[in-house]
Structure 1
């Protein structure tokens, strides 16, 4: 949606506008370089147009900008020739830390009931925002951190009427008679603008939770592709996820050590992927995944629910799903599971009657039909294959003695 916003505030310029407009731009989520560019572009559009005021509808927990980038943005807002207003809404919205700096430099600030603002020690223009805690709507108004409380964007625009910014008195409402009673209603057209589709995608992947999810999912899909035959959709999707994650992590304060630990975690689980049971590298991988999750961001914390769900999903994928995929691959007719009959191996656990054996450098579930259990470390011979389970017997037992075990 294109903004219609204005620069000139002379009487002649205003007279030319048959119906004044108010441009509203929606800023949601952390203020990253994508959002900062969007605000600057909106200001340029407003300065070329004929809007009565530019309103920033704000709902943000903070920013991801460097100190210089944030100073440049707030300086741009404070020096624009058009009136700028910030409304923290709708109800339940918040403007903390770097996001509160936008309100700090705005000539007019409103907040909806149920929203909160503050936690911004760097604020200078509005001392009420310079607090270690957030303020409710009524507290913000009492502390002069906000000029007015308005439940909706429409009420906020109406309440701007008559307020003066840089010598210009805003005209956003008129009084009409409704049922014999005077009532104020908007006298301006309102246009809304938000990030374009591609910008929204890039802004979304720069979210700490989304970037983390894309990174882990991308690595898991690459592992899945590595253990399957040929190049398929999993590898392509994994590569795309990693590219998007790389963009998000480039914007976020990501620690290389955290990324490395996550990669080590996935690699560790991959080493034991054919075992079907936790082993040494599984433990290393699990610890690395948890540590990488904890250390991924500097100054940001992932939601606990997100971290737990991703870690559990990764563990289930690698320990439950991947072993089945690998065994299915090695037991397909194209590879020839019948050729495993007669192969020699070693029992890695007691078979009484079931356990684990190592054959062809891979671990398999195995079963013996002999009355005497096979001890861990004993040599075995594959006598048959039933699905993904090997039928085994002690090495040295011939077919006559066993009654001719078969596949």
Structure 2
């Protein structure tokens, strides 16, 4: 009896150990250089665990076209079936998210979610604008159409996502043959896709366990730095810290500036605008030069303008991207506002530096001020006086008794020359 129980227990754990597994990875917020690495790493993990499928949860305003193409390539070359899932309720997979969904083996959406608006856009110093270049538009259209055709989906809708910024909710996408499944949660999704044939295998996902994939620490850090707003702020803070460090050495600001700039460039995928770097370098040189001019004027203003303009241009503007218009507007404001605010702060700081530099030396200002003797002072001996709460050594050509008001008439090194207030004119 004990032997039979042991066998049953072993069989139970064996069945649990060999039950179907599904890996879930989330693509939230912007599609960045870290996103494709996260998907690639998750696919490798799913393959290593012999998972039934990988679910990519999409809730994104869009992102880089180049990174989107890499994610699509990883999905197509992986032997693990990939299920795209716009989730949770109210989520959106605009622009790049729509193209990724079209490339997945099974496309699904939760109720009250939206896909579409996949026309490439670019961000300029004046604002955001759709890309009208036929070469780029046709390339993105072909990418969307081919992925839809490959999985037996609506090719016309795939084209209109790009050319007409078509938007569809879950029911419209289902009725229009853009997706295969509508599901309110992952558990029901796994039941509905069970038995589907994908990449030469029949999915066995009904009741399967699923686990969320946690990216490595390196990818988590890269994903954090890859946020366009954070990366741009790191660049701006680093630039101004470097300016302060070079003009006021000894406080470590220049070291912090170099680190901050490096992190910002890593976050942007080392997409560097040479002209922007030239403007920043020129602005820093003008500000340093301004410190050696008589007053704060046109040179300093020109330096600040160069730094602000270079800070705005150093982000990858003009490069085709797949973002929603709402996200681009937020991004542009987030870039301009810190640049302008920090520019005014820098102007104020430089103004204060120049004011201090041209200020009359404090030594000359004490002449004519009143102090009080603590000790007796004679022509032969010195004594202490109290001046503005401080104790100074003083001497005089006349005898002055303690606790007598005196006027400062000169200074000999660290020794004040005083005279009795009664004897002063």
For the criterion TM > 0.5, the same-fold answer is: yes
Change (3 A) 1:278 1:233: closer
> Which residue does 2:34 correspond to in 1?
34
Unaligned stretches of 5+ residues in structure 2: 1-13, 119-139, 149-154, 322-327, 368-423
Render the CA deviation track for 1:35-87: whole Å, top value 9, x for unaligned. 32332222222222232221111233444364xx7656434422433321011
Render the CA deviation track for 1:112-144: whole Å, top value 9, x for unaligned. 344332316221232233323143333322332
- CA–CA distance in 2 between the matches of 1:326 and 1:278? 6
Secondary structure of 1:213's counterpart equals: helix
Deviation of 1:212 (Å): 1.8
* TM-score between both structures, scaled by the size of structure 2: 0.62
Deviation of 1:199 (Å): 1.5
Equivalent residues in 2 for 1:5-44 (5 A)?
17-44=17-44
> Which residue does 1:125 correspond to in 2?
147
> Which residue does 1:159 correspond to in 2?
192
Secondary structure of 2:64's counterpart equals: coil
- CA–CA distance in 2 between the matches of 1:337 and 1:35? 59
> Which residue does 1:305 correspond to in 2?
333
> Which residue does 2:388 correspond to in 1?
none
**Aligned counterpart in structure 1 of residue 170 of structure 2, from 132, 137, 155:** 137
> Which residue does 1:172 correspond to in 2?
205
CA contact (8 A) 1:228 1:329 kept: no
CA contact (8 A) 2:247 2:288 kept: no
Secondary structure of 1:86's counterpart equals: strand
- CA–CA distance in 2 between the matches of 1:160 and 1:236? 54
CA contact (8 A) 2:109 2:182 kept: yes
Deviation of 1:192 (Å): 0.5
- CA–CA distance in 2 between the matches of 1:215 and 1:92? 33
> Which residue does 2:260 correspond to in 1?
241
Deviation of 1:29 (Å): 3.9
Question: What is the RMSD computed on CA atoms of the aligned residues?
Answer: 3.7
CA contact (8 A) 1:63 1:97 kept: yes
Equivalent residues in 2 for 1:389-400 (5 A)?
none
Q: Which has the higher mean CA deviation after the structures are superposed, 193-202 or 288-297?
A: 288-297
Asked if 1:188 is matched to 2:208, the reply is yes
- CA–CA distance in 2 between the matches of 1:330 and 1:256? 37
CA contact (8 A) 2:110 2:183 kept: yes
**Aligned counterpart in structure 1 of residue 342 of structure 2, from 295, 301, 314:** 314
CA contact (8 A) 1:330 1:337 kept: no
Deviation of 1:324 (Å): 3.3
- CA–CA distance in 1 between the matches of 2:225 and 2:89? 25
> Which residue does 1:47 correspond to in 2?
47
CA contact (8 A) 1:117 1:129 kept: no
- CA–CA distance in 1 between the matches of 2:255 and 2:35? 29
**Aligned counterpart in structure 2 of residue 217 of structure 1, from 210, 229, 237:** 237
CA contact (8 A) 2:76 2:103 kept: yes
- CA–CA distance in 1 between the matches of 2:304 and 2:225? 25
**Aligned counterpart in structure 1 of residue 363 of structure 2, from 338, 349, 374:** 338
- CA–CA distance in 1 between the matches of 2:304 and 2:245? 21
Question: Which of structures 1 and 2 has the larger relative contact order (alpha carbons within 8 angstroms, sep 6+)?
Answer: 2
Change (3 A) 1:61 1:22: same
Secondary structure of 2:108's counterpart equals: strand
> Which residue does 1:373 correspond to in 2?
none
Deviation of 1:19 (Å): 3.1
Secondary structure of 2:52's counterpart equals: strand
CA contact (8 A) 1:26 1:194 kept: no
